[in-house]
Chains A and B, each alone.
Chain A
Amino acid sequence: MAEAEVAEKVRMLDIYIMEKHYKVPEGLTIQTALEYCGYRLIRGCGCRGGSCGACATVYNFTHDPTLRYGLACQTAVEPDMCVVQIPCFPTAKPIYDIKKLRPTVDQVLGIYPDLATCFGCNNCTQSCPQDIEVMDFMSAALRGDFPTVVEKSFECVMCGMCAARCPQGLSPYNIAMLIRRLHGRYLLPKSRHLEEKVKEIEEGKYDAEYEKLRSTPMEELRRIYDERWIEPK
């Protein structure tokens, strides 16, 4: 890997993986630092690109005990960092049928009654590796302001850190998930042109035209392709 090749030319940092001291080259992420130290990851590794939440990590520094949170694949190692991964945290995930739900606060509270016990400590916001204002969307959820929940929770990668740190045992990420689905299905206006096009296709409106193209010789097909009108951006 390019990182390992660079190692000889860069400075080495002291880090602590579950309190165990290692030296790693500067410039690695927490994830590649774990691998540099010889760990072959099974849990705690997913897309490696900041989108899936598998690698949620809690860390602090030997000189500063303040807890911090990040995605291991997106966080560069720094000197004296102390890390641990939390690849999974127990949350009970309720079962529901989205087709039978109403997009209301009462419905959400019916599925997640503990939501009302939130006392605004803001740990959820502090623990979010995506810098989401979790506390804000939890308030919005209680107020029934679902568009704000969607807007503020959109970048959620469902890593589970908020649930791991909520003193009331809530799962903000699951609550936001439900509200986003309710919003997408019931609150966003339906797309008329989509419904019309689906109907046209099912009625077979385009079948003949396809058959014609299908049996067009290659030379002709290429010409049609090169000459087709391209909608301006």
Chain B
Amino acid sequence: MAQETRVAEEAKVEEKVRMLDIYIMGKRYKVPEGLTIQSALEYCGYNLVRGCGCRFGFCGACGTIYNFTYDPTIRYGLACQTVVEQNMVITQIPFFPAAEALYNVEDLKPKEGGNKLAELYPDILTCFGCNNCTKTCPQELEVMEFMSDAIRGDYAKVYEKSFDCLLCGLCAARCPQGLQPYNIALAARRLRGAHLAPKSQHNLDRMKEIEEGKFDAELEKLKKMSRDELRELYDKREIEPAL
């Protein structure tokens, strides 16, 4: 059993913790306060197969939709990062069908006057700005804003605003037009990284030097050194200041 759950069991036994009512797919359970939705599921006996990944907020596997018995407003979170609250009503959406354009990153190179994203995902133009995507985002990204940027072909802005996206898919699950902001943003970020970000000249120069064999002789010399010689060289090497 995961550590959080074991600790919770012990605390419960010692009556140190308050028990909360939560509803998993409509079914009521009592769980100790302080658990995340994910550990609460496990506390209740569910052995997760779907809906569980890195367990610490990076992979988007555990997208969860919830509300409260006293408040029907739909809310969204990652199960592993969201703490249970009293009267929470929970459902996980481990997958939602979404369009995924197939492309070769070379072909992402944007052309003058065109919008590569609209080419790959033509439905993007049907977005009517309802802002549901922003509401669903467990990473609190300004999804609606980067969707507008995408429609305008401003790939750089999409990259900036979507950087924290975990591709959990909740925006696609709730978009009334059936769009998939997370896939659109992914294409924009790849496009930007491959074709728009300034190239790293020193990296290119170094690659050239290596291919031309500039460092080969020096490496051969090091390989022939004895252990003591190597150690001496190592201890005396100049260390660049950190800052």
Is A–B contact present in the complex under a CB 8 A cutoff? Answer: yes
User: Which residues of A pack against B, CB within 8 Å?
Assistant: 18-19, 43, 58-60, 65-67, 82-84, 86-92, 114, 119, 121, 123, 164-165, 167, 169, 171
Complex Cα spacing A165 to B130, Å: 13
Does A165 lie within 8 Å of B174, measured CB to CB? yes
User: Is there contact, CB below 8 Å, between A18 and B123?
Assistant: no
CB atoms of B93 and A86 under 8 A apart: yes
Q: Within the assembled complex, what's the spacing in Å between the Cα atoms of A160 and B38? A: 24
Interface assignment of B72: CB less than 8 Å from any CB of chain A: yes
Flag whether B71 is at the interface (Cβ < 8 A).
yes
Interface string of B134-153 (1 = CB under 8 A from A): 00000000000000000000
Q: Does B195 contact A (CB under 8 A)?
A: no
Q: A128 to chain B: closest CB distance in Å?
A: 14
Q: Tell me, rounded to whole Å, the shortest Cβ–Cβ distance linking A74 to chain B.
A: 18
Query: Does B57 sit within 8 A of A, measured CB to CB?
Result: no
- Decide: A84 and B97 in contact? CB cutoff 8 A: yes
- Residues of chain A within 8 A (CB-CB) of B132 are 167
- Tell me the bound Cα distance from A5 to B116 in angstroms: 49
Whether A90 contacts B67 by the Cβ 8 Å rule is yes
Q: Which of B97, B123, B173, B176 contacts A59 (CB 8 A)?
A: B97
**Cβ-defined contact, A60 with B95, below 8 A:** no
Q: Contact: B176 with A123, CB < 8 Å? A: yes
Q: 28 A-B residue contacts at CB 8 Å?
A: A18-B50, A18-B94, A19-B95, A58-B96, A65-B97, A65-B178, A66-B178, A67-B97, A83-B97, A84-B94, A84-B95, A84-B96, A84-B97, A86-B93, A88-B25, A89-B65, A89-B91, A90-B90, A91-B72, A92-B67, A92-B69, A92-B89, A114-B72, A119-B130, A123-B176, A165-B176, A167-B130, A167-B176
- Select which of A59, A83, A87, A169 is within 8 A of B74 by beta carbon: A169
Chain B contact residues (Cβ within 8 angstroms of A): what range?
A: 20 to 34
Residue of A nearest to B95 (CB): A18
Binding site for A on B (CB under 8 A): 23, 25-26, 50, 65-74, 89-91, 93-99, 123, 128, 130, 132, 173-174, 176, 178, 180
Chain B residues lying within 8 Å of A59, measured Cβ to Cβ, are 97
Docked-complex contact B98 and A90, CB < 8 angstroms: no
Q: Which of A60, A123, A164, A167 has the most CB of B within 10 A?
A: A167
User: Smallest Cβ distance from B47 to chain A, in angstroms?
Assistant: 13
Given contacts A67-B97, A165-B176, A167-B132, 17 further A-B pairs with CB under 8 A are A59-B97, A60-B98, A65-B123, A67-B178, A84-B95, A86-B91, A87-B25, A88-B91, A89-B91, A90-B23, A90-B90, A92-B69, A92-B89, A121-B128, A123-B176, A169-B74, A171-B72
Contact between A60 and B67, CB atoms less than 8 A apart: no
A2 vs chain B, min Cβ distance (A): 29
Greatest chain A CB density within 10 A among B66, B70, B178 is at B178
